[in-house]
Structures are given as C-alpha cells and as structure tokens.
Chains A and B, each alone.
Chain A
C-alpha cells in the first residue's frame, strides 16, 4: 500500500456543486507530483481533501495505511502541510516570527526549539531578514514565502504547494526550486498545483492532469506532454521548448533547452554527413 491512497473519492460542496468525481491515485513517500489542469478542474478541492480541510463525500483517503477519518486535524497538520494559493487566506499573525511559530506552539514545543525551527525554516524560505516585519507590509510574493516557511517549520512528511510560482519573479522561482530540492533530499513528498509548465518540467517527475472534476491522466512528464488527446481535452499546453521541438519535427521528446541543443546539433551533424 502506498503512503497516500485516494480511493474513488468524490466531493460535493454543501450547495450541491460537485467539485471532484471518482478520483483514485496512489502517492509514495518522496515523490514529486504536479497536478495540472484548468481553473475549476477540481485541483484545489482534491488537495484540500488530502490535508483534511475538506472531507470526501464518497470514497476514502488513507495516509500511512490509516483512514483519514481517524486522524484529528492536529494529527494531520503534523504530517502534511498545505501552502494556500492566496497567502492572505493563511496569514493572521502580526509579525512573521509569530506566524511561523504558531503551528509549533500548538504542538507544545519549548521556546528555544521553536526559535531554532523558525530560524531554519525562514532561512530555507529566504525570508530570514523579515522575521520582525508585519506580513501585510510585505509584497505578495514575499508573503507567499512566509506561508511556505510556516509549513517548512512543521517538518511534515508531505508538502502541498498550491500555485507557488504565481506572481514570483526569476529569483523567487529559483528560491522555490531550491526549497523543493531540499525537501526532496529529505525524502519529503512534494505535491504542487500549478499552471506553469516550465516549473513542472524543471522540478517534478509525475504529472496528474485534471479536467472537468476528474483525473484525465496520471503519468511521467515525458508521457504527459506528448499525449495530445489529453492536452487538448484538458486545455493545457506543452512547455515552450517542447512545443517548439515538436513544431520542428524533432523526434525525441524534448523537455529542456540542453536536450534541445544536443538534438539540434546532432541533426545538423547528420545532415553534414548525408549531404
């Protein structure tokens, strides 16, 4: 049995709106998984069921073999951290230190341990210079790193990042990649929801495509981005470089600039031989 098992799960909001229909997936420890698909496809509802914010209307989710129904919210919070799409849905303390420390205090840690964890998490998130600031005085993109630090401080087994690259600049993108690498080294499962295909290609291996409340495909990135039926059905797009390679009829499934340059140089060399 996998670390997380989602078995035939559906979710209907109290107003009758069906957000997710009959989805199943298994997620292992240490996996790097991206969930992609259009706005409204059911991605955020799905991950909110993983962290217990929503409970499946039908079906079951197990973590480490135990049905999530048996976990309290506090128990889930120790194992699984969720970084909201909009940091303002998450932030409520008046300084960054207290914001990051909040979850740790709830666990009854000593002040010294808390300070150490907060410092480490803030450093990983690249916000160690802002600990005394009011989060609301910080730009949106920095507030996002505050919420990431909150989850890092909890030292959970699964980190869920909802649209982490939205509004991030070049430097912010690299910081997020660094954080994901760091989590990967610790064998922590990283699940992201994103619209940024370059981000997927650089940082994730497995891709789940959601469309119209269901899972349309669940496979390796090199499979997904050449499944043109799924791309069309889910209204997603190939990464820029893959799309260009495809347009130029390059045979290999190109995902990066380096791969593309290698195969172009090879193409050119072959022509030199044949001509």
Chain B
C-alpha cells in the first residue's frame, strides 16, 4: 500500500537566495519498507524530511508547490497534532530535540504521550518498555542535559518510538554515536521494520544502509538524481561522481574487477563480499582441479 505520494514538489524557504531547496521532487513510499536518503549536505535531504513530517508548510512557511499526500490526505490539510500520531520524527541534532521542559529522561520520553492525553498508567508502561528496549535504564533518572551526545541521541529516539507511529522519519540518527551505540540504533530500526513500520532514513554510513535499507533515493542540489533498489544503486560507480560515495565493500569489488576481470557481482555488504570473494577464489581452485 502506498502511504506517501509526492508529485512535482518544489519548495523555497521564506528567507532564500532565490534558489529552491527542493526542485521537482516526486516519490512514492510504500508500507513496511525502509527507504534511505543519501547525498551531500545541503542538498535538501532534511528539507524533504521536514515536508513529510508537515513542519513544512505548517511551521516553516515559504512557497510549497506540487502534491504531498500522506495516507490519502494532502499535507496542507493535516493538522500537526494529527500527523504526530502517524509520523514520528527524529531530528538530526539531538540537542534540538530535547524539549528542555523535563528534568528527567523518563519525563522527556513521556512528554509526547502526555501531550496526547494518554492515561498515566499507560504512559508509565510504555515508557518503561521503550527504556528497556533501548537499553537506557541507567539514564532514566538523569537530566537530559547532563547526557553525552550519544546518550541524548538514544533518548531522542526513545521519545519518538514510545509514540508508536506508523511512519518514522529519521534524520542521521547515529552521527554522535560510537560503533556499539550505532549498532544498537540499527538493531532498533531493524526491529521497527519487523513491526511493519515504514521508515525513511537519512544516513551517511553507506555500509549500514546497504545492510538495512530496501530502496534508496540519492539527492543532489534539491533534486532526486537517482533512485532504486539498494543493491543496484550502491554498486554503481557513478555514485562517486555524484559525490555520495560508495560502501567499502562495493569499492573493493570495483577495484578487484578493474584488476581481475573475472570478479563476479559487486557486493554492497559484508556477507555478500565474503561470498563473492570466496566464490572468486574458489572457482579458480575448482577449474585447476578439473584441468589436472
């Protein structure tokens, strides 16, 4: 089922240098899939997220043209509080997301549910669940402002997951995290996907996108310049020309291919790379065996 449809979207911020932040963007988001958005900084990824969550046009004004339909209704006709129930938004900078009105992490995570008027016992139950799920029990009584960057990022994540939205828009969730924290967040994202959630993820770490995402949009200069299944897009050397980079495994495959024309499919994640290299080394052994 299609959850979000964007057609010929143009957007210009109210304060601008005459250039549109989004230019003729069209896309379709289907239920239960994980979409990744990549591309250089300043090319409209976060702006696109802001449109999908309704911050544009409801909070940031400016000029929005084209069609943005969320669950059958145009974004302009949704109210922000209605949308908040359907779409969760995790900000790029956790320092922005922390509300500043709560003095414990537990309260911070409960804040959104309080605003929706959920019963207190239910709030407590759900907050405890999420705290457990994200493995942040030791943070529950701390002041959100005393946390490290990585800890704040996890709390920001918890505050959205607790709302149980159908669609999650996640803007660079792991930029402040250590490798273990990053793994924890991606385990979380994987779990959300298994729950049937639809996820739109902006992320620079291509190795992680290769492993977890289904479909990829590459943005440059306000436009979607290429899109497709992750396997196809992330094995395409043109991504380096688009200054989006490639996963390490694909770079390795492309380099091997250059120097040894018989290397197989360009891998994009580790298990693929392992299998392809074994096959490449192994095939030769077999051929040698049959020849002797």
Contact = CB atoms under 8 A, between A and B. Distances in A.
Nearest to B246: A170
Interface in A134-149: 137, 139-142
Contact of B41 (A39, A172, A235, A264): A172
Interface in A52-110: 85-86, 88
B274 A247 contact: yes
Contacts of B274: 244, 247-248
Contact of A142 (B41, B148, B151, B243): B41
The contact size tier of chain B is 35 or more
A271 B273 CA distance: 20
B248 interface: yes
A268 B95 contact: no
B292 interface: yes
A101 B252 CA distance: 44
B259 interface: yes
Interface stretch (A23-31, A153-161, A216-224, A253-261): A253-261
Q: Is the interface of B mostly helix, strand, loop or mixed?
A: helix
A166 B176 contact: yes
A197 interface: yes
A207 B225 CA distance: 39
B204 A39 contact: no
A227 B233 CA distance: 35
B179 A236 contact: yes
The contact size tier of chain A is 35 or more
B243 A171 contact: yes
A40 B288 contact: no
A240 B40 contact: no
Given A39-B151, A40-B148, A170 B40 contact: yes
B164 to A, nearest CB: 27
8 contacts: A168-B204, A170-B204, A237-B179, A244-B277, A258-B255, A261-B255, A271-B284, A275-B285
Shortest beta-carbon contacts, A-B, top 5: A275-B288, A39-B150, A170-B245, A167-B175, A240-B248
Interface of A: 37-40, 44, 85-86, 88, 137, 139-142, 163, 166-172, 195, 197-198, 235-237, 239-241, 243-244, 247-248, 257-258, 260-261, 264-265, 267-268, 271-272, 275
Given A139-B46, A142-B42, 19 more contacts: A40-B150, A40-B151, A44-B148, A86-B95, A163-B176, A167-B204, A168-B41, A169-B41, A170-B40, A170-B244, A195-B177, A236-B179, A244-B252, A257-B248, A265-B256, A265-B260, A271-B288, A275-B289, A275-B292
